Amino acid sequence: MAAILPTGLRNGMKGLDANRYATKKTVAQGMLDIALLTSNASQLKYVLQVGPKHEFYTLLVVLISISIVLQLLVGLLFVIIGGLDLNDHEDQPSAVVLNDVIVIFIFVISVINIIISAFGIEYSNNPLILERLSYINNEYLRKRNYTAG
């Protein structure tokens, strides 16, 4: 004789709640996005502090900026997709399209950050920080001599 199971149970196990799963996935992805955004902001700060003396200054500023903008777009898409009801058949096509767009953006962000790492934020053949400090010191001395004379 077949047993009658409560609604939502299959083989004695509770069925998957798609909305709960999607929400948890979105929150986890959002946390990773925040971590990468923080890292990119720190990298951008470093490159801007070193200035044009960095051999890949323009390339790094452009790539890091693109990465940050794409991450902000992904964050916005997370908010939008988080508000969709996956059990509602009208929301499902939008959720699929948004999810595909998010995956593409995340892939592009990953490739950009691999390139950023390859061109070295922290490492360079030249002692850039020492050169920058020397430049600042020379500018200070030049201004001091100019005002004294």
Helix, strand, or coil (residue 102): helix
Q: What is the per-residue DSSP string for 36-93?
A: HHHHHHHHHHHHHHHGGGSTTHHHHHHHHHHHHHHHHHHHHHHHHHHTS-TTSTTTHH
Predicted TM-score of the model (pTM): 0.65
> What pLDDT does 70 receive?
95
Q: Decide if pLDDT at 18 tops 90.
A: no
Mean pLDDT confidence for 70-75:
92
Radius of gyration of the chain (CA): 25
In tens, the pLDDT along 116-139 reads 988 876 555 555 555 666 777 777
Helix, strand, or coil (residue 13): strand
Q: Can you say how many angstroms the Cα of residue 134 is from the centroid of all Cα atoms in its chain?
A: 34
Question: How far apart, in whole angstroms, are the C-alpha atoms of residue 37 and residue 48?
Answer: 16
